[in-house]
Structure 1
Amino acid sequence: MTIDKKAISVVLVDDHIHFRNELATLIGSFAEFVVPWQADNGRQLVERLTQTPAPDIVLLDVNMPEMDGYETAAWLRTNYPGVKVLALSMYDSQKTITRMLDLGARGFVLKDVEPVEIRAALLDVAEQ
């Protein structure tokens, strides 16, 4: 794998704050990544993107209130096509995975995967 020496920025979007904080800590522990900020839902992500530089990757939960992962992925594809989306869910239905990929997600991970799999998925998306 050939990853640039610059840290890859990952923004987490998930409405479960404790899970999101733990995931941010985990991702921040990987040498290749930095988590500059987090959002509770797609609407908050949209608001923050008007005030801060866009991240390299958005790790995006599918099921959230206000603006879910589907709507957020579609918005990102239109407004920030350079931002790569890695979908995140606790459900592995083929319909959910296919829909997120159709909306521009570059990959899909389950919330209960091992840390090494999260890192591998992020590295894979970063290289795309």
Structure 2
Amino acid sequence: MKIPIKVLLADDHAIVRNGIISLLEKQQNIEIVAEASNGLEVLRLLQSGVKPDIIITDITMPEMDGIELTASIKLNYPDIKVLILTIIDQEDLIISCFNAGAQGYLLKNVTISEVVFAIEQLYAGHKHICTAIGIKLLNHWQGRFTFSSKNLKSSIQLSKRELEILNLIAEGYTNGEIAEKLFTSKRTIEGNRQNLLDKTGKKNTAALINFVVRNGIID
């Protein structure tokens, strides 16, 4: 049996903590080792000997917020990964979290399956952002960079049409809207989207956006 991923959850709302914990405890590969209502409590828990692999934290909390906590974790506990789970989608705060050392960023409207996927990604040494945040960040840089097959892994070959669809997905268009723009059927776009997932080895659109962000280049 695999050793479970140890998680510490920080959120100032007890009802939110209880809900997330009850869902994560159903996962065989995840163990909740502690919970806290603010950043200072997290640091006290770490100082007392609690050793999580990943800390899931909100941003807005009393005494010490999630960004301050993330910076402290990066400085004093660099092996611990930080996953932000919040309702905040402001670009400046998103960037501040990553600058502070966060490895992942999710909005609280994601499914529990995406939270689990993000935990697994961070534990494996990767970064993760949910689709909505990926689109927001991409829109922020719209006009500054485009995607090109030359900057993707050499083993992945994308056609001109696939790159075109990839850009539209990144801009937040649905399959139906993409089909209208490209004068084709929704079923064709669904097939193209699945091909992109298959070629990049990703399980869902959120992971695909993650891949796109990591491999984007400035033309």
TM range (shorter): over 0.9
Alignment of structure 1 residues 1-16 onto 2, 5 Å = 5-16=2-13
AA of the residue aligned to 1:110 = L
- Correspondence for 1:23 among 20, 24, 42: 20
Q: What TM-score comes out, normalization by structure 1 length?
A: 0.93
Deviation, 1:112, is 1.4
Of residues 62, 80, 84, the one that matches 2:81 is 84
Q: How far did 1:52 drift? A: 2.3
Distance (whole Å) between structure 2 residues aligned to residue 11 and residue 102 of structure 1: 21
User: Unaligned stretches of 5+ in structure 2?
Assistant: 126-219
Is residue 116 of structure 2 the alignment partner of residue 119 of structure 1? yes
What is the deviation of 1:12?
Answer: 0.2
The structural deviation recorded for 1:54 is 1.7
Question: Residues of 1 paired with 2:90 and 2:36: CA distance?
Answer: 25
- AA at the equivalent of 2:45: R
Q: Residue 102 of structure 1: SS of its match in structure 2? A: helix
Distance 1:97 1:127 in 2: 22
* Long gaps (5+) in structure 1: none
- SS, match of residue 63 in structure 2: coil
Does residue 108 in structure 1 map to residue 105 in structure 2? yes
- The structure that is helix-richer by fraction is 2
CA-atom RMSD in angstroms: 1.1
**Structure label with greater radius of gyration:** 2
Alignment match, 2:92: 95
User: Aligned residue pairs: how many?
Assistant: 125
Task: Return the letter of the residue paired with 1:93.
Answer: Q
CA contact (8 A) 2:33 2:50 kept: no
More strand per residue: 1
Give runs of ≥4 in structure 1 deviating > 2 Å.
Answer: none
Asked which structure has the greater RCO (Cα within 8 Å, sep 6+), the reply is 1
Q: Which residue of 2 aligns with 1:74?
A: 71
33, 54, 58: which one aligns with 1:57: 54
Cα distance per residue 1:65-115 (max 9 Å; x no partner)? 100001100110111000000011101122121110111100101111111
Question: Alpha-carbon deviations, 1:2-39, whole Å to 9, x = none?
Answer: xx910000000000111111101111111110001100
SS at match of 1:96: helix
